[in-house]
Chain A
Amino acid sequence: MVAGPEPPVPSNDPSPESGEPIDPRTGKRVPTQDMREEFARISARSGRDPDAERAFVENKIEMIRTHPTLSEAEKTAAIAELEERLMGET
């Protein structure tokens, strides 16, 4: 495999204002651009797809049901966790 650039590690500064990753080897900030607005603008144009959203959730449940190593009890717990997480979905 051809080696690419090493990805930087996340910042050790846990404050909410800490926006940029810091390379702990050098202590320098890693070049980062905040593209959130740009991506949010493009995403808004894409619109929502209810069929895709429903399929996404159904497939996750299917992944649990057909999991080769989970026990029945673990599957039940995992589906319950999923349903709880999806409660109040908007």
Chain B
Amino acid sequence: MSEAQYAPEVPVPVPVVPGPEMPTEVADERESLAKITEVTPRDTRAEEAFIASKAQQVRTHPKLDRAERELVLTELTERIGRERLEDALEREETPPVPGGVGYGVFYNTAFKSAFAQGTSLYFEIICPTSPGGNVNTWLYLTGMNRAGLSVEAFVSYFAQTEPHFKVYDWARTDHWQTDVPFGNLGSYFGTTSAHGSSYQTLGVWNSTYQISSSQWRNEALLYNRAAGRWDLFYRYDYTGTQAEQTGGWIGSWGPIVETFQSPYVNTNRFGALRTMLISRNSSGAWGSWQLLSAANSYIRTDNVGFFQVFLDPNYAFVVDS
């Protein structure tokens, strides 16, 4: 329709909301706005960010499955133009730390504090030798045993370099302790099958328990598959209180894929199997190992590109991207 033929009346009823009186007249301001637009310099960075953001929205959309994401990305590429989209993605500025939780399990508040003199976590970390895909910064496969002063004994990836197994001790001021490259862990790697696939795993067991009225102990062990035994590789005794262990937010995460970029694309599979916890009561007696259940925990995902391959609520999961 030419501009001359255009009548400013719109064929849609004007919005009417209860309360304030809404205008009913329509004015044609196209020419004046076009003039303003003409004198406003183009902001190519903003335009590229807009395009890149659209691609990001598609790649991390929580309700789209893998096939739907591919389909929408194809549509986006067609609509925007491959070259323009690729340029925009290439020049996109990396946000400071888009970090968070790619996928993983958090303990419910009640369960987080449901122990007295000790708590212990066992889980098998699914940890490929290389993260694969577009991982270009850190990515952690970690977990805590609920105690606020316990340790994180975790797999640390950095880009596509050799991963390390590390210990971060929340009870110390010199937090960083163990740091062992994967190449030194040959005896500890095993293969675990789940849902029809085999995964390289590390069996990690970390405990926090009271050893006197004011003293607590953190310890971490790895399952030595070659020798068929547990290897104690870290222990630290310190002063603490039960309130420090059971309260607060630190210690509230079970097995998680902790992320530092977005989106993740084409990575290998990560996850956790056989996640179990055990509690020690106020008399000092340990209960029995229990698989982590959905009643005691919940899944958090920040939608940074990971897909759930499977979830056995909530003691086992595998994700990829």
Contacts and interface: CB of A to CB of B under 8 A. Distances in A.
A complexed with B: yes
Contact of B289 (A1, A9, A68): A9
A42 B230 contact: no
Interface string B261-294: 0000000000001101010100011101100000
B192 A2 contact: yes
Q: Interface majority SS on B: helix, strand, loop or mixed?
A: strand
Contact of A16 (B118, B178, B215): B215
B64 interface: no
Interface string A42-67: 11001010001101101100111011
A81 B250 contact: yes
Interface residues of A, number: 55
Contacts of A86: 175
Contacts of B168: 56
A6 B203 CA distance: 11
B24 interface: no
B132 interface: no
Contacts of B98: 62
B248 A32 contact: no
Contacts of A56: 138, 140, 168
B316 A1 contact: yes
A88 B289 contact: no
Nearest to B122: A7
B100 A12 contact: no
A10 B176 CA distance: 24
A29 B224 CA distance: 16
A52 B234 contact: no
A35 B233 contact: yes
A43 B193 contact: no
Contacts of A63: 99-101, 253, 258
Interface in B178-212: 178-181, 184, 190, 192-195, 203, 205, 207, 209-212
Contacts of B99: 55, 58-59, 62-63
Given A7-B122, A10-B118, A85-B250, A39 B229 contact: no
Nearest to A68: B300
Given A10-B207, A39-B234, A81 B179 contact: no
Contacts of A30: 229-230
A42 B284 CA distance: 35
Interface string A11-36: 01011101101001000001111111
B156 interface: yes
Give the top 6 A-B pairs by smallest Cβ distance, nearest first.
Answer: A78-B249, A59-B99, A31-B229, A46-B179, A39-B233, A35-B231
Interface of A: 1-2, 4-10, 12, 14-16, 18-19, 21, 24, 30-36, 38-40, 42-43, 46, 48, 52-53, 55-56, 58-59, 62-64, 66-70, 74, 77-78, 81-82, 85-86, 88-90
